[in-house]
Chain A
Amino acid sequence: MTSRQTFFEDRPGLAWAVWGILAALVTVPVVVALNSPWLPGRNPAYVMAGLAGILGLAMLLFQPLLAAGYLPGPGPLLARWLHRALGVGIVVAVLLHVAGLYVTSPPDTVDALLLVSPTPFSVYVVTAFWGVIVTAALVAARRRLGWRASTWRVVHNALAAMVVGSTVVHALLIEGTMGPVSKQILCAAVVVATAATLVHLRLVRPWRMRRRRSRDV
């Protein structure tokens, strides 16, 4: 931990660059979407639903980085608090997304959730939706469940990977207000951040620790 903190403290320019890139990855897609030619024909609920979807996708970018403590600035406690706050934010975004779509067109929304929609992406919609709901339920019941930390990690990480994968495929397959280029870049960033974190935390670090321990013995 301390080595990572000093890493960015020794390189303030790099810390600024990291936050600048993250800010651009989030704000550019939102600004592009707010200028979409399709917005004028949409009712306020539909506009809100689309925006909630984009913000939900953007929040997924920060979750692995906060969980792993990669980001320059927040210490471990603040990073953990932010991870939880964004988790709540993702749940709220998903609920606003679905609610806004339901107000816009109840039959299309129900079809999508029941997997009888004609659109080829509804299976990813449903996977992402239930992935988020189950994750939130497990977080709320974590103490009562009393799982071992290792069990929790496996389940929480598997759900996270599932949510990220299905959300990104859903986002890429639909034609909505997001611009295609900024959408692809944000989706790629979310996938890379999630995959890199999982590989580092669950494969590389345990393997290194095991090697260090065997060397010490």
Chain B
Amino acid sequence: MGSEFITRRSLVTGAAALGGMALIGEGVTGLVRPAVAAGGLRPTRTMRGGSNNYRPNAPLVDRLGSGFHVHGTVRQAGGGEPLSNVRIQIWAATTRGGEREPSNHGSVMTAADGSFVLEMDQIVPNFGQPHAHLAYDDGRFETVFLRPVMGSASDTSVRADFVLAPV
């Protein structure tokens, strides 16, 4: 965390740098560096603010509402094999309430192809940006918190992909 603070401070030099950070923040996949020479697929790094308002062990649900889909894939670092039966916890501010509203928290398991999807109510801007929170926090792999930002508040889905490294 300490190094992150310094990185942030040194980056905060002007609107241009900040605008650039916003663009990077919008593409979840941007965090997975494609050009890794050796060692294969790099693990996804936790995003700044990703764990805000996290409540561990969100209940497994079929859905939390309707009209909006949070989806993505979970793969293993290195070879990129899809990981099935992995629990992903999801929460967000929606039309039904904020990020601390219990009924905005739910977990889903990944399918055989490593994909997951959770239907919930429409995500709305919270603290100035429409975004979701996703967590892998079950111990088998390194914990990862993601905070994908929607391109537009009227989007009806948001995607976040995990590449997990074994502990």
Task: Give the interface of A toward B (CB within 8 A).
Answer: 37-38, 40-43, 46, 101, 104-105, 107-108, 111-112, 115-121, 123, 169, 173-176
* A123 closest partner in B (C-beta): B12
Secondary structure at chain A's binding surface: helix, strand, loop or mixed?
Answer: loop
Mark B residues whose CB is within 8 Å of A: 4-5, 8-9, 12, 15, 18-19, 21-22, 25, 47-53, 93-100, 124-130, 147, 149, 153
Are A120 and B95 CB-contacts (below 8 A) given A38-B124, A105-B53, A175-B153?
Answer: no
- Cβ contact within 8 Å between A38 and B125: yes
Within 8 Å CB of A176, what residues of B?
125, 128
Q: Is B97 within 8 A of A108, CB to CB?
A: no
Q: A123 — which chain B residues lie within 8 A by C-beta?
A: 12, 18
A46 CB to closest chain B CB (Å) equals: 7
Is the CB–CB distance between A118 and B18 below 8 Å? no
Give the CA-CA distance A38 to B128 in the complex, in Å: 12
Q: Nearest 8 pairs between A and B by C-beta?
A: A174-B128, A175-B125, A107-B52, A120-B22, A118-B48, A118-B49, A120-B18, A41-B95
A105-B98, A107-B53 known; A41 vs B93 contact (CB < 8 Å)? yes
Given A175-B130, A176-B125, 14 extra CB contacts under 8 A: A37-B95, A41-B124, A43-B98, A104-B98, A105-B99, A105-B126, A107-B49, A108-B52, A111-B52, A118-B48, A118-B149, A119-B128, A175-B125, A175-B129
Least CB distance, B48 to chain A, in whole angstroms? 4
